[in-house]
Amino acid sequence: MSQHRAWIAGTDPWQGKCTCKATGPVTTLRWQADDWVRDHIDQVERARAHRRGTPSLASTRDYYRRMETTTTDPVHRDQWRMLADELDHRLGNFRHSDDAPLW
Residue 46 shares a structural domain with residue 64: no
Q: Domain of 82?
A: 57-91
User: Would the pLDDT of 103 be above 70?
Assistant: no
- What tens digit of pLDDT does each residue of 67-82 get? 999 999 989 999 999 9
Share of the chain above pLDDT 70, in %: 88
- What tens digit of pLDDT does each residue of 44-53 get? 888 888 778 7
Residue 44 shares a structural domain with residue 66: no
User: Would the pLDDT of 1 be above 60?
Assistant: no
Which residues, 6 or more positions from 3, have their beta carbon under 8 angstroms from its beta carbon?
19
Strand partners, 72: none
Q: State the first-to-last Cα distance of the chain, in angstroms, to the nearest integer.
A: 41
Residue 47 shares a structural domain with residue 16: yes
> pTM above 0.85?
no
3-state secondary structure of 80: helix
Residue 46 shares a structural domain with residue 68: no
Residue 72 shares a structural domain with residue 40: no
Residue 47 shares a structural domain with residue 63: no
Residue 16 lies in a domain: yes
Residue 20 lies in a domain: yes
Number of domains, the chain:
2
Residue 98 lies in a domain: no
Residue 12 lies in a domain: yes
